[in-house]
Every structure is written in C-alpha cells, then in structure tokens.
Amino acid sequence: MSRLNLLLLQIAIAAAIILVWYIGSSVPIGGTCLLPKFFFSTPVDVLARIEKMFANASIWRHIYITLTETALAFFIGSGLGIVIGFWFARKPYVAAVLDPYVKAANALPRVVLAPIFVLWFGLGIWSKVALGVTLVFFIVFFNVYQGVKEVNPVILANARMLGMKDRQLMRHVYWPAALSWMFSSLHTAVGFALVGAVVGEYLGSAAGLGYLIQEAEGVFDVAGVFAGMIVLAIVVLVVDWLVTLLENRLLAWRPRAAERI
Amino acid sequence: MSSGVSSALPTDEASAIELRNVEIAFRLADRSEYRAVRDIDLSVAPGEFVTIVGPTGCGKSTILNAVAGLVAVRGNVRVFGAPLAGLNTRAGYLFQQDALMPWKTALANVAVALEPAGVPVVEARDKARLWLQRVGLANFLDRYPHQLSGGQRKRVALAQTLIRDPEILLMDEPFGPLDAQTRTLMGDLLLSLWSADRKAVLFVTHDLDEAISLADRVLVMSAGPAARIIAEHRIDLPRPRASTDIRLEPRFHALQRAIWADLRDEVMRAYDNAKAGPE
Ligand SMILES: Nc1ncnc2c1ncn2[C@@H]1O[C@H](COP(=O)(O)OP(=O)(O)OP(=O)(O)O)[C@@H](O)[C@H]1O
Ligand SMILES: [Mg+2]
C-alpha cells in the first residue's frame, strides 16, 4: 500500500466519524437528534472552540506546561529506571530481596498517589512530574533489568574472550543491550509520561491540557471537553512521531520488521 | 597413521593445549547430569594445526569451550604448561554461533577487539580496515551484522579474532556458512597466515576435505553421549599446501577414506540415537 493511499484512508476514517457525529448531533430524526447536543456537542462547535483557543494563543501555554511536565517525568523516570535496573541486574541478591516491594509498588494504581503528590509537591508542575515518574520508572526499569540480565551469553563470552574487563563489558555489551531494550519501549515510556502529566493536571492544577479538560467538564461545557481532547490527541501524535524519528536514529543497527520478511 | 588415541608430537616445550582425562558434564533442569564427553586426552603442540571431526552433538564445541575456560571440567586442562584457571587469555575463539555485537558496525566490531590491549582508537580502526580487507570485506565496513550474510558475518568474526594475534586459535566451524569456493579461499588464507607465525590451532569442522587439507592431525570423535576421541590421523601431506591441488593427490584420498571409515559408524550411531530419543 502506498503512503498516499494510507494517508487518504486514514483521513477518510476521520471524515466518516465526524460525519456520523455531525448528522447524529445536528440533523433531527423524528424531532430529536440521535446524539443530544448537551452530551455530544457538535463538530462545528468543537472546531470553533479549538479555533478560539489558538486565536487567543492561551492554548500554547497549556501545551507548553504539559510538555514540560512530560519531558521532566520522562528523563527523571528513565534515569532512575536505568540506574536501578542496572543495579538490580548486576546484584541478583539485591534484586531478590527487593523483589516483592518492586512488584507491590508497580501493581499500585498510580492515581491514588496523585493527591499525596499534590500534598508533597504542591499544585505546580512537580506533583505532575512525580506522577509521571512513577509510571515511566517501572517501564524503563523492567526493560533495562531484563536487557542487562538477558544479554546474549555468546556475545558476552565472545567479548570476554576478546579480553574485555568489567568496564569495557559495561560499555560495549551491557549498556547497548540495555539501551536497545529501553528504546524499544520508548513509545510506551513517553506515552506514560504524558498520561502522568495530564492525569495529574486533571486531578488538581491551574494549567495544562488536563486542567483545560477538567475545567470544561466542571461547567458541563462538552464542546470544551472535546476540544481539549482533540488538542491533546494532536499533541500525542506529534510527540509520537518525534519519538519514531529519534528511534530510527538510535536503533539504526536493528533489523526493521519489514526487512526481515 | 591411524593409531588409536595418543598424545601429540614429543616436544621439549610444553604443549600449547593439553587435556588429560577430561570429562565434561552438564546439569540438566531435572537435576540429572548429562555427560557430554569423557576420557578426553588431547594435546596441541605450539605451531600445530589440529582439526576435530565428529558427528553432530558429540561435544566438539564443548571441548573448545573447555579449552577457552568457558565451562567447568573434571580433569586437567593445561595451557603452555600452566593449569587453566578462569578464562584462557592466550586464546582467540571463533564461536560457532554469531557472536558479533549487533549494535556495532563490522569495522567497529573488529576495532574494538584491540581496545583491551590499549591500542589507540585511530590505529585500531586502521588495523581493522586492513583485516577486513584481508577477509574480503573492504566494501562492508559500515554494515551492521544484520545487514551481512552468514558467511560475511563469519569473516568479520575471523578478522575480530585474528587482529588480536592470539597464541592459540580455537575455531568452531568458522567456514560453515560459506560456499565451497570461498571456503577454500578462506582456508588458504588461514593457512598462509598460520604459516607466517605458526599459532597452535584447534579447529572444528564437519567437512572432511577441509579437516584434511588444513591439519597436521585430525581427531575423530565418537557419537555422544559420553563421546570420546576414537581415532587420530596424522596428515603427512607436504606443506605449503594449496587446497585445490592437494585434493587431487592419491594420498589425500587414502586419508579421506581412512578417516571416513572411522567416522561413518559414529555418524550413523548419532543419527540412530537421535531418532530413538533419550535412552
Ligand atoms: N549447556 C548445556 N546444557 C546441557 N547440555 C548441553 C549444553 N551444551 C551442550 N550440551 C549437550 O552436549 C552435547 C555436545 O554439544 P556440542 O555443542 O559440544 O556439540 P557439537 O559436537 O559441537 O555439535 P555440532 O557439530 O552440531 O555443533 C550435545 O548433546 C548437547 O546437547
Ligand atoms: Mg558445535
């Protein structure tokens, strides 16, 4: 399938959804609309709302704040995940002792932590960053842990036969192996950083996309909620696209699925 | 020439590799033990080229791993007279499996082999380029392993092993995935490199012709489990050898027949064992 066809098909799906939404909410069938305006708004209203957001430029500040929180959560969470993942993989005893705590912490729904983080870090960006960190950390941690622990034993034996000692093994074998696992979960990690930020904003803040949506919901402004969601979706797509670009650079040594047949 | 199991040439100097009464067993998941090889006595003199042939699964790689210091053994392993403890740092090992670092290009894979010796990066890269040229990969310096064919990967690995100039070479079917022509070429290359500075070589192969045309001695292993070395053939063909010519000589064919006679029954036995399943 060519790229153009793909794009056309993708646009067609969006058009179909909007059309159904438009007809359902704006064309009365037997006196009532199938999708009452109060609950579903209409595409025209939502579009007008988005236009207004961008017209008075207020939206940029919210996007900026959400992205800042996302980036901070991602980098801090990844850094911690890498360091502790390495530590666990190289010290099986530590890993064994702490195993139940890691599992328990990972299984905990992070939303319950949000109010505590607000108490600890206030209503500013840091409580959202903290929430994102708890999400990103575990993804990166598990991947790095796995990557270091399950380094291909033949590659490791070969490197050791080449005379490499601890530091060189770390640099040439363990580190790239761990990074490749981490990069393979890059999309998920970045996605979770964003989720952490938005959920944090939603639960209590004064700025950001999550805050916009929450604020609109508070006054039953359905058009505002949808507008916020659509802006959020566009931001997500752009971020994901950037991650793909980065990934292609970082993992150039990897066979792509399509090349493999 | 065929003379049961005996030690190598009588020499004053210590053997480069010496295994005495070696047994290697693996512990399996059900806590039982699988005895892969037993009663292994073999020695490789400095400068000697020894090949091992044997049916698949008999324990050829296992023996190389033992010499490399990668598996625990019962019995005695000596390297240049000293008991082997830990890794064999005087050996270069060309693994049967792919062992290149997939995140490094061919050039980087070869150059990194000089890092432990403290060779400056620029010099290492120059040398690596030279070695890749020698194995016929001058145009593939920037390829990652997954972008190379099996045979090309093997040649990168060969350059990676040889660039360090180890005193002992352990090679496990290094030319397995190559076509017959390239295989002969690589064999001749190996022989010419070897005759320049006579390393001790322990070389595993499935290919009898290759085993004979390269070696001073060919060792034949029995089928596993508990495989042994069942025969030893001294290859008295004159050197230097050009493998294409030497294969036409009557003496070559006589050796080939003799070794095949030892090997054939074992290959059949290995096949039957595998078909019958675990005893
Ligand atoms: N780690 C291991 N655990 C259990 N059994 C093993 C292990 N490694 C090897 N073996 C067994 O030891 C035997 C010898 O294996 P080895 O790899 O040395 O065979 P090989 O002679 O090199 O075979 P091939 O010619 O097919 O490469 C095999 O039966 C194999 O199943
Ligand atoms: Mg093998």
What single string gives the DSSP state of each residue in B49-62? Answer: EEEEE--TTSSHHH
Half-sphere exposure in the Cβ direction for B93 (13 Å, CA): 30
- The residue whose CB lies within 8 Å of the most ligand 1 atoms, and thus the one to mutate among B24, B52, B58, B229, is B58
Average pLDDT estimate for B166-180: 89
Ligand 1 atom 14: the closest Cα is on which residue? Answer: B59
Nearest CA to ligand 1 atom 6: B26
For ligand 1, what atom is nearest to the CA of residue B59? 18
Q: Considering only CB atoms, which chain A residues are within 8 Å of B100?
A: 155, 158
| Gap between the Cα atoms of A151 and A128, Å rounded | 35
Cβ–Cβ under 8 Å, residues B40 and B227: no
Greater pLDDT, B180 or B63: B63
> A161–B91: do the CB atoms touch at under 8 Å?
yes
Asked whether B66 lines ligand 1 (CB < 6 A), one says: no
CA of B200 to the centre of ligand 1 (A): 24
- Among the listed residues A184, A60, A66, the one whose alpha carbon sits nearest the alpha carbon of residue B103: A184
Tell me the mean pLDDT in the region B210-235.
Answer: 91
Instruction: Kindly state if the Cβ of B61 falls inside 6 Å of ligand 1.
Output: yes
- The tens digit of pLDDT for each residue in A129-162 reads 999 999 999 999 999 998 888 899 999 999 999 9
pLDDT at B162 over 90: yes
* CA dist., res. A14 & res. A10, Å (int): 7
**What is the per-residue pLDDT for B278?**
55
- Which residues from B are below 8 Å from A164, CB to CB? 115-116
- CA-closest residue to ligand 1 atom 25: B56
In whole angstroms, give the CA distance from residue A211 to residue A224: 11
Which is the closest atom of ligand 1 to the Cα of B64?
18
Closest of B10, B82, B73 to residue B38, by C-alpha: B73
Q: What is the mean pLDDT of residues B125-134?
A: 95
The rounded mean pLDDT for chain B is 88
What is the Å distance from ligand 1's center to B58 Cα?
Answer: 7
Exposure pattern of B118-155 as b/e (b: 16+ CB <10 Å)? ebeeeebbebbbebbebbbbeebbebbbeebeebbbbb
Average of pLDDT values for B106-134? 95
The answer to whether B118 faces chain A, any CB pair under 8 Å, is: no
Task: Supply the CATH classification number for the domain B1-90+166-268.
Answer: 3.40.50.300
Nearest chain A Cα distance for residue B72, angstroms: 14
Q: What per-residue confidence (pLDDT) applies to B244?
A: 77
ipTM over 0.85: yes
Give A192→chain B minimum CA distance, Å.
27
Give the model's confidence band at B277: pLDDT under 50 very low, under 70 low, under 90 confident, else very high.
Answer: low
Question: Which of B33, B34, B52 to mutate to test ligand 1, by most ligand atoms within 8 A of the CB atom?
Answer: B34
Surface-to-core class of residue A124, CB atoms within 10 Å of its CB (0-12 exposed, 13-18 middle, 19+ buried): middle
Per DSSP, A252 falls in state T
- Residue range B123-137: average pLDDT? 94
Rounded to an integer, the average pLDDT of B17-39 is 92
Model confidence, pTM: 0.81
Q: For B96, phi and psi rounded to 5 degrees?
A: -70, -40
> Is B209 within 8 Å of B245 (Cβ atoms)?
no
Question: In angstroms, how far is the first alpha carbon of chain A from the final one?
Answer: 16
Residue keyed to tokens 């490094």: B104
Closest CA to ligand 1's atom 4: B26
End-to-end CA distance of chain B: 35
Contact B97 A154 (CB under 8 A): yes
H helices of A91-110, in order, are 92-107
Indicate the class that CATH gives domain A41-250.
Answer: mainly alpha
Chain B stretch 21-80, residues whose beta carbon is closer than 8 A to a beta carbon of chain A:
68, 70
CB B36 within 8 A of CB B26: yes
| B121-134 and B150-162 helices, crossing angle to 10° | 130
DSSP secondary structure, B69-135, as one string: T-S--EEEEEETTEEP-SS-TTEEEE-SS--S-TTS-HHHHHHGGGGGGT--HHHHHHHHHHHHHHT
Residue pair A245/A187 in contact (Cβ under 8 Å)? The answer is no
Q: Is B36 in the pocket of ligand 1 (CB under 6 A)?
A: yes
Best mutation target among A150, A152, A158 (most B Cβ atoms within 10 Å) is A158
Gyration radius of chain B over CA positions = 19
- pLDDT band, residue B249 (cuts 50/70/90): confident
The predicted structure's pLDDT at residue A260? 46
Task: Return all residues near B183 (Cβ < 8 A) that are at least 6 apart.
Answer: B175, B207, B210
**Which of A151, A154, A161 is the best substitution to test chain B (most B C-beta atoms within 10 A)?**
A161
Calpha distance A179→A187 (Å, rounded): 14
The predicted-structure confidence for B83-95, as pLDDT tens digits, reads as follows 998 999 999 999 9
Cα(B203)–Cα(A92) distance, integer angstroms: 37
Q: Does B86 touch chain A (CB under 8 A)?
A: no
Residue B13 tokens, joined: 């100097």
- CA B205 to chain CA centroid, Å, is 7
Which of B234, B250, B203 is CA-nearest to residue B54?
B203
With beta carbons less than 8 A apart as the criterion, state whether A81 and A138 touch: yes
Ligand 1 pocket mutation pick from B53, B61, B273 by most atoms within 8 angstroms of CB:
B61
Q: How far is A166 from chain B (nearest CA, A)?
A: 11
Q: Which residues 151-210 of B are in CB contact (within 8 Å) with A?
A: 157, 160, 164
Nearest CA to ligand 1 atom 28: B57
Question: Of A245, A243, A224, whose CA–CA distance to A235 is shortest?
Answer: A243
Low-confidence spans in chain A with pLDDT less than 50: 259-261
Residue B265 has pLDDT above 70, yes or no: yes
Ligand 1 contact via B55 beta carbon (within 6 Å): no
Domain boundaries, chain B: 1-90+166-268, 96-165
CA of B177 to the centre of ligand 2 (A): 13
In terms of DSSP H, where are the helices of A108-221?
114-121, 125-149, 153-161, 166-169, 175-184, 186-203, 209-218
For ligand 1, the distance from its centroid to the CA atom of residue B187, given in whole angstroms, is 25
- Maximum Cα–Cα distance for chain B, whole Å? 56
Q: So what's the pLDDT on residue A34?
A: 80
pLDDT on residue B9: 46
